[in-house]
Each structure stands twice: as C-alpha cells, then as structure tokens.
Structure 1
C-alpha cells in the first residue's frame, strides 16, 4: 500500500493551512501535512529533509521571505520539489523564482490548481531520481553494450541526437568497407563523406538521424543500395537511458532483392497471397507507396469512384480533403498499423468518408482505403464536443481574469462610500475597472473576428507596410527592425486580421522585455522536406514564415504549456490577462497555417506564423 505524500508547509495563517488541507482532501490527494510557522521551525524541519516529499511555502512571512526560503531549501534539500503558494506574487517575480530553482507556484485565489501541480512535481521528482540511477549505472551498461555489439551478426551504429557516433561494432565496418581511421573522429558526417562513392544514397544515414531528432521515440527503416546489386536493410530505433531518449540505434543486414509491385500489393494486409482479390471483392482498395511512386490495382479507381489511379505521393494526398491531410501525415510519421478516417474526393467532385490504413515496411508504405458510413455524423459530434470544451475553458479563464479585479474595485468603492478610504482608493478602483474592461474588450474582439477575407499578397511587402504600425506599438524604447527574405512566393491572407495578430505579438514582445529592448521582424521560406521510404515525411507544401522575435527572458519550460491558454500572461502586471498568442494562433489556423514558439535556453522568444505559400 502506498504511503501518504508528506508535505512540509511553511505558513503563518492557520486558516490558510486548514483551507489547503481541505482543498487537497477534496481532490483526493492522500497526504500528511506538516505545518511550520517561522524561520526557526522551517530550519529545524529541514534538518531531516528525507522526511518530506514536497515543500509548500508562502512567499511573504514576517520573519522569512520567499527568496530566503527557496535558497535554504535548494542548499539543504536540492531534490525536494519546491512550490510557492501565495496570494501576492506577480508573474515576473514568479518567473524569477522558477529560474532560481522553484518547481512551480500557485496563487491562493486559484487553489483548484494546487493538486495537479503537486502531482506533477512528484512525478518530475520521481523521473529525476530514475534518471540519476540510470546515469550511475552507465559504466556497467557500457561494458555490457560493447560485449553485445561484438557478438551480434548485424552491423550496429549508435548515434546521439547531435550526430556524434557513440558506439559501433566491427560487423558494421566490414559490411560497409569502412576503415578504422574513418571512425576515429566519431563523427557521422565523416562516415557519410567516405560512403558517398559507395552508397546510392549515402546521405540517407545522416538524414535519418536529423529527421528523427525532434521525434526521437519513433522507429523507422529503409533499404540502402551498394555497388554490385547489394542492398543493406537499415532499421532505426530510439536509444534510451532510463526514461530519456539520448540517440538512435541503427542496425544493418544484408537485404533480399526488392519485391515487385504485384508482390507488394499481395503483401498488404499480412502477407496473404489472396488478399488483393478478396480485398477488392469487399471494396477495400490496397495501395503501396515506394519512394514517390504509388501502386494501386487497376480496379481500385472504379471502386473508389476516382477519375484515375494516383501515380505519386502528391496525387494520393490530393484525394484527401484539405482539413484531413494532417491525419495522413501523422499516420506516415507514426509506428506500424495506423488507421484514420478522412474525406476523399470522387470524380464528380463530391466528398465521401473513407477509412485508411497505413503500415510502414522496409520497402516503403502499404495501406488500404475503404468507403465507410456514419463517420461524418460521429466526427461532427466529436468536433462539437471539442468546441464546447474549448468554449468552457475560455469562459472559465475569462471569469478568473475579470472577477478578481471587479471584486477588488467594488471593495474600494465601498470604502469610498463609507468615508474610510484613503485618497488613493479611487485611483486603485479605476485601474482595476480598466483592467477588467480591457480583458473583456480583448475577448469581444477575438469573438467578433470573422473568417479571413484572404487575398494574394507579397509577404515582404506586407511586412514592410506593417513596420510603421509595429514601431508605434513597440514604443520608443523598443527599436523594431525587419529582415526580409526576398523573392518569396505570395500568400493568401486578410491584411487587417494579420496586422492585428502581428500587433498583438509585438505588444507581447515589448511586455516580455519590460518595455526596453530590440524587436526583430523577419520573413523566411520553409521548403517541403524530401521524402524517402522508411524515413519521416516532412511538410508537403512550401510555407512562408512571419516571425516576431524579442530578447526578453524567454518562457520557462514550466510555463510553455500554458502560454497559449486564453488570458494567460507572463507580463509584470499579474492582473492583466492577455490574448496575444491566442489571437495569433487562431488567426494562423483560420488562414490554413500554424503557430510555432522557439524559446532557446540562452533566452529570448521567437513566435512564428507559418502560412501555406501559393503556387
């Protein structure tokens, strides 16, 4: 039986302690809460830090401040999760505390968030402990790995996520004819250069590692050609230490001759030779993707109501409704035997719901297509459910951001009416009401935004015309520069909506830097990634990037999941909610694009709106 979670709570208000106990109990958190009041009691309790699982600390106490409490905890109990629970801590101060080692923070006005934060902190602590244990046994594992590498009949190459070679065996060297001196620097680039004259596609090795760097938990495979009609079957899988993926393990085997298109079609569905005829009789159409070539039985187009059979990957994608293409892309990127539903266009221009299967093999992709019924109704109900859930989330966030300022403003006005208020009470009430009004105005503007009236525009010209507006929004202490990419294809956008979205991002950048610092606008072009069987496909359309970059403190990892929540802000005024990122994301989605955040460890934030380029 699991023991209760042991929490050390530093707090000077007994009523708040009872409220926290009741909140955790109502959320079914089994815990023992040890309450200490004051600096001496806190120091005494931390003499035995292993008695506790979590530290919960009020930021403002009479004889010890939150900064000192955090410093003591990190010195005496560095592995214990540390959570601030306070009624008065602004987002700017909270971010600074997170930088100095705090795990998270919760406002006393938002106690329902306490239980999830405690649970997540405990889980992260358990993961950190497991990671340390894995690192402690690394030397023993390395010795076992070397023995296993040399005993296998496969060629093995282990590469980290940066493209450096971690390990290899002699079978790999002999299979590919690589001398020891080529491997000595332990760099994959050097191996690829040496193999450039031998492999039909030597860069495939390097491409495999680079493409999987951001999707390191996925498995992949392919076939590499060697001189003399020799082929090597390559497979790639994640290399893990504990829960963490640290690289890739690539294995190589001598491959048999490639299957013919007819053999590939027979293999769809488990290798049964009679599958194709039986599938077509059941109105299931198999297909195979080899490189860019699509193979489909002659009877397939007639069963699906197509004008002609797709000949390549672009033709296959063109069958799908634009809103459903992403399901196909995700299926190609995932592991074996993936299914999804999508709308497909018939020769008469109508859309019909179909069920697709995708299976990754060494020679490429195999799958099937079958018309289905009732799917439109189910998908519409699911879309309606998600929309209602999103509306509830936005309404809840709006209530949290406006209810507090309104209640404080009413209290200040009551004090004025009673004659007991200080002279500054009127200014305070006015500021609070302005905060609530500004939040409601942002929500009104976002809700009133129509579908974009898009028109083809030159991205660089559009950004040049937006630049004066950006400089006004940024203010005199935040110089704004623009770096055009030049020779960009046009994009379809609504100028008014996109200016509003970019303006919100400029204001976010200004607030992130405290009103002082440079803001850079830029445009770039993102090309489709070349497709190779067994590797992960990239985007299938060229996209144009509109970027807003600042040199602020960046967004800590603990907050990156929340920054797209409606009204969430990391600005200095904790009472003011923000819709900048939310509005930019919704505008990008309405234009058929997406929003990306880049928060490098050295600081700064780049927000990118990706829009599909027009042909």
Structure 2
C-alpha cells in the first residue's frame, strides 16, 4: 500500500518539489515527520509505503530524490529495505528515521550504504540531515559524471590522439610542400632573373660587337679594292674570315638573348627530322644507334626551318658526347597540350605545342650542373671540346619562337631534352618547295680562282693552311667546326674543294665528309691529319692516300694533292642549296 501526498506546493516557475519515499508503518510517526518537513519550508511530495512489496516496487521505479525509512517494521526490517534500495536505486540517499536505532545498529547501517540516521526523539535534526544527504548525493552524482567523462575520455583518447597526429602530420606535410614550392618558385625566379640579366648583357655585347664587326668587315672590303699586293690580300682574307667567325659567334649569343633574326614558317617537323637521319648518323658516328618515334598526325609548328635543324643537330651531338661508348639516340615527336604553368624559366607556358625530343642513354646531368646548362659559355667539356653555347642557343631559339625547353635527366640513366614549338593550323602549312638547284658553272666567272673551304678547329693551324693555299693562288673561306662547314655549304654549295681536319670536336672530319658526299657529291674532300698511321685513316674513310695530307706539311705536299684533286673533279654543274 502506498500513500501519496503533496505539501508546500511550489509556485509556477519554481524548482520542482523534493520527491520523498517514506517507509513507515505508524500513522502518528508519519504525521510527526511530515510536520517537521513542513516546518523546513522546502516543497516536497511524499510517497508512503508500509510493506516490503510496495517499497520494492517504489524503489525499482527510481522516481524519488530521497528515501526515509523506519528501522523496525512488522514484517520487514530496515536493513532489508536498505538492501533493496542499494539494489534498485543505489544512488538515492537513504536516511533511517527510527526510535530504536542503537549505536551499533547505526554503524552497521552506515557500513551497508545508509547516508545518515535520525532518531525519532530528535526529529528537529531531520531537515539538516536531509540537506546533507542531498548534498552528498549531488556530490556523488557529480563525481560519477566526472568519472564517466574520464572513462569516456580515456576510451576516446587514443583515437583522438591518432586523429590529432594525422591532422598534425597533414598540416606538416602541407607546410613542407608550401616550403618546397616556395623554394622552387624562388629558385625559378632567381634563375629567370639570372638568365634575363645574362641575356641583356649578352645582347648588348653582341650588338656592340656586331657594330665593330661591321666596321671591320666594311674596311676590309674597301682595302681589298685598293690593294694589289698578293700577300696583303691574303692577310685581308684571313681578317675577313675572322670577322665572319665573330659574326657567327654573335649570332649564337643573340640566339640565347632571343634577339636573333628568325623567319618562322609553318613546318612539318616529322619531315624535317626524317630528312636529317643521314646527317645525324654521320655526325654522331656508327657506334650510336638512332631511333625515331614520329607521331603520324603531328601538328605543324611555327618555327624557323633552318634553325630547328641546327637545334636538333646540336642536341644530337650533345647526346653523343654524353654516351661514353655507343648507346642509343632517340628522336621523338608528339602533340602536347600543356595546362600547368612552367616550373622553371626555360619551360613553356600553357598551350598547344608540337614537341621534338632528343634522348640519350648516357651519363645524365648532375643537379648542380642542370641549374646552369642554359647559361652561355658554361660547359663541362674539356677546353676546346665545346663552346658552352649549344644549349644556350636551344633555349633562346625555343623562347623566341614562343615555346620552351624541358630537360628530364637522371645521373647514370640518360637525358631527354624536349623542345616545345607553338602549334599552327594545318591549313597554313605551305607545300614543301624542296631544295633549289644552283648552277655553279654560271656562278663563277672565267678566270676566277678556285674557292676552297678550310675546316679546322685549331685557329693557328687553320691560319697556316689558309696562308699556304692563298699563296698558292686559291680563294679561301674558313670554318672552325664541322657544323659551321655544313652551314657554309648550305648557303653556298659552289665550293671547288673542302680541306678537312680529321680530328675535331663535335662533328669530326669523317662525319663532315660523309655529309658532304651525300648532299654535295661533286665537291672533293682532302683530309689533313696529325695521325701517324695514315693506313688506319685510309681504311676507315675508304679514300686513297692521295687525298690525305700529313701534319706538319712538308715539301709542297698540301698544294700538290689539292691541285690533283681539283684536276680530277667533274666540271661544275647543278648543286642543291636549301630553299629555306
């Protein structure tokens, strides 16, 4: 049986009344207890039970804030009630209110979980006991909540630590990426500024040098008209040759500074590359295998046709020099659409490009060298083996054409140089006019001296050779390298004979001779060489000893063999010159 009673009702909006469960079989004691609670002034509701079953049901409901219990009941004792309360609602404060509760029983009750006890003879202590019991209950509740929060914290700590660690790692990786990217951008900016500064300086020097060469060449021309002494004429010829070499040097410098004169036209790179196979093979030697991977539907490129041939030849010779013994040189063309901005100053901006790449299986380029490969006059080759203008010229040509260059290399695994050239509409591609025939018989007047092209990388030796042959009555032109000789023949194929040094850096004499035999077979070639074993040279070049002159020159041998070669040559006729 349970009796509910509401006393001291709280006004609207006030805190909810205290809910009390009272276990008491005496009506008089229950009234006295209520009177004490009423006097305390705290709103409360009271649920009174008198049997074990009613108390167990009320405790199981856990809908009370406080339990007050008598100790002695007819069918039920206070310790049993405490046990039920600890089982069903262990967190609700339990206070004994009894008239027979001795000290030993009270101690036992507290040990079993009672919050407090009050004797019925001292009910005036009840309000304070209730307040204290509720305070302890709240403290216990807060402690349990804190402990639960701590348990939950401990349970999730590892996960949160792992999550935070991931966040920190991601933040650190992002920061490192930003640092690397910033350093890359700063390095690219420094490189661009350095190349721009060198380009401006180079352009100024080349411009002033060209002005000086113009004065020198003009005065040489004036002096030639006024000079009748043969010795003085030969000296003027040597001076003119030196001026021409200076002009070629300034042309390379202007190429780097992007101020050379270009004549861009729509060019089909596949045709250009394919037509250069023989020249490339003779330039790099038989020990290197050449492979070509040409995209069938390659976009036309807007470039200077002559310059792109020189660029490819330059890259091929660099690739050959990077391969110690043999190897494979691959030339590839492809259509490329770039969407990302350049990572280095030499790389092209976003856009559509016809790309030509030259790859080798050589030693690769170390990182410290890669930073400087486009600077003019920077070279890792031995003195006399390279000018350091090859890649500078490639860089300037690509940039001035509206494209760019990219180098992919790994020390020990070879190098790929990609040249990106701007795409043009295929409809703008003009038909290939092909080479133009020049009639050398009409290009020379009767009585003109035979014109000889002397090719030697050693300027001192070249001067001696030129002087001897000029004194012998020939008109002399000079070239300081195999590539310069090919260029000279491209512009004027009407030379009567070519004198070739056999051992030269870049294209050696054998390679230049091979190119001449294929493109200008009517021009005879005489070798000059410092090799002691002329038989080895004879076997290698399949030429007779009558076309080989040993250095140092003795007893007029050079003049005799050149005269014999000129006598044996066919009559001047039609020769091919590039139409570009």
Q: TM-score, normalised by structure 2?
A: 0.32
Greater share of residues in helix? 2
Q: Which has the larger radius of gyration?
A: 2
